[in-house]
Structure 1
Amino acid sequence: MTTHAPETKIVESYRVACDGGEGALGHPRVYLQIPEGDGWVECPYCDCKYVHKAHQDTTAN
């Protein structure tokens, strides 16, 4: 069984919504706030990492 690495998405807003992106196979929609100092946040359900575009060069994947 292969484990896939969590997805990383570059976003333009410091507030994002995540629902797993798989329709009925996803997860409940959660709203996440990206801390301006860190520049990224991870979804607690699917571990998708949201990186604000202003921090994409300083945030390691």
Structure 2
Amino acid sequence: MTTQAPETKIVDAYRIACDGGEGALGHPRVWLQIPHDTGYVECPYCDAKYIQKDFEGKV
């Protein structure tokens, strides 16, 4: 049995919200701040990776 890789999403903002994206089966909404030096952040609940659009292809 294999597990799916976490999602990677390209976003416009440096502050984003993640709720797992699956309605009632998701997780509590958390607000995440993307650092300006790294360009990405990972959700502590679902491990989704959010990359700021200016860092796409660099991370």
TM-score for both structures, normalised by structure 1: 0.94
Root-mean-square deviation over aligned CA pairs: 0.5
Q: How far apart in 2 are the matches of 1:2 and 1:19? A: 24
Aligned to 1:15: 15
Q: Percent identity?
A: 69
Deviation at 1:57, TM superposition (A): 1.8
Cα distance in 2, alignment partners of residues 16 and 30 from structure 1: 8
What is the number of residues matched between the two proteins?
59
Q: Distance in 2 between matches of 1:32 and 1:57?
A: 21
Which runs of 4 or more aligned residues in structure 1 lie more than 6 Å from their structure 2 counterparts after TM superposition? none
Gaps of 5+ in 1: none
Q: What TM-score does the superposition give when structure 2 sets the normalisation length?
A: 0.97
> Cα offset for 1:2?
2.1
